[in-house]
Amino acid sequence: MIQQLINGLLLGSTYSLIAIGYTLVFGVLKIMNLAHGEMFMIGGFLGILMVKLWNLPLPLALLGATIAAGLGGLLLDLVCYRPVKKTYFLAPALSTLGFGIVLKDLVVNLAGSEPQVFPAALLMGDFKIGPVLVSSIQLLVLALALALMLGLDWLINKTELGRSMRATAESETTAKILGINVNRVTILTFVISAALAGAAGVLIGLRLGKISPFIGSTIGIKGLAIMIIGGLGNLRGAFVSGILVGILELLTSVYVGAIYADVIAWTLLIIVLVMRPQGLFGSKINVDRV
């Protein structure tokens, strides 16, 4: 049981990273970034390729994939957000959806539709803490995911950039009269969100041992559900519900059957939407926004 809880925690922490990226963009810019799942896929893909083709050590590959995905976020802002009319809420959602499809097709055409596999040399040893078996990879994934989330929490709540992001989230006009460069905040929001997705992609690649070009529409979209479960635009909500879904999925696959694991996020989503539409941690304010 403890073993399963720990495995669930590990899975959940990567879900949290994806959901946080969604919720960051939604919270600050009030748009659904439907290319986010593909950013996550690109991160995982690049991470594997860097290890495979260039023999980069894992930390460098992780850093590289994070930066590359961050640059992808920059491109997303320039191509899909800035030129698009924001007064119509579907416009940026559709343009980002299109961007995601282009990314996916690019990867399929360049690298094929088969999953890319992490070299076995990377798989480090397991060790036991009491009766619980933990692999070093899992521990690494958990530590990195937690570090990234704590870092983001600090950035948002304690720094001037974080304050400008929250101010922009509350009111773009107010942010402007305070002298906040709203364009810069927008770019950084996309970059940070995509970079987190990129890192999550590498981490989940490490956990699964491989990344398929289509993972964006399975796990990536699951992140969207997790964001809504946690409450739109709520960072801590995304974090907690990511962990929650991870643990429930693991318990389900062990005690009910692996084929039911994917049902969890969506069932939870329906329950939350019916019982508590603002999400587990959402405030009334967020309901008004929706």
Partner 1 sequence: MLSVKDLWVSYGAIKALKGVSLKIGAGEVVTVIGSNGAGKSTLLKTISRLIEPKSGTIDFCGQAIIKSKPYQLVDRGLIHVPEGRAILKEMTVWENLILGAHRRKDKQGIKLDIEMALSYFPVLKDRLQQAGGTLSGGEQQMLAIARALMARPKLLMLDEPSLGLAPMFVNEIFKIFVKLKEQGITILLVEQNATQALSIADKGYVLDLGKVILAQDARELLKNKAIVNAYLGKNKSIS
Using CB under 8 A, list all residues that contact partner 1.
Answer: 160, 163-164, 166-167, 170-171, 173-174, 176-181, 285
CB closer to partner 1 out of 113 and 174: 174
Q: Give dist(CA 29, CA 263) in Å, integer.
A: 30
CB closer to partner 1 out of 161 and 273: 161
CB closer to partner 1 out of 52 and 236: 236
Name the minimum Å distance from CB 154 to partner 1: 15
Name the minimum Å distance from CB 95 to partner 1: 24
Name the minimum Å distance from CB 176 to partner 1: 4
Name the minimum Å distance from CB 23 to partner 1: 15
CB closer to partner 1 out of 53 and 288: 288
CB closer to partner 1 out of 144 and 169: 169
Q: How would DSSP label each residue in 91-142? A: HHHHHHHHHHHHHHHHHHHHH-SSPEE--GGG---EEEETTEEEEHHHHHHH
β-strands 132-135, 116-117: how paired? unpaired
Q: Give dist(CA 106, CA 32) in Å, integer.
A: 22
Name the minimum Å distance from CB 21 to partner 1: 21
Name the minimum Å distance from CB 240 to partner 1: 19
User: CB pairs under 8 A, 24+ apart, for 57-65?
Assistant: 58/122, 58/206, 61/202, 62/144, 62/199, 62/202, 62/203, 65/198, 65/199, 65/201, 65/202
CB closer to partner 1 out of 55 and 171: 171
Token pair of 198 as six digits: 């990129």
Task: Give the count of alpha carbons within 13 A of 13, CB side only.
Answer: 22
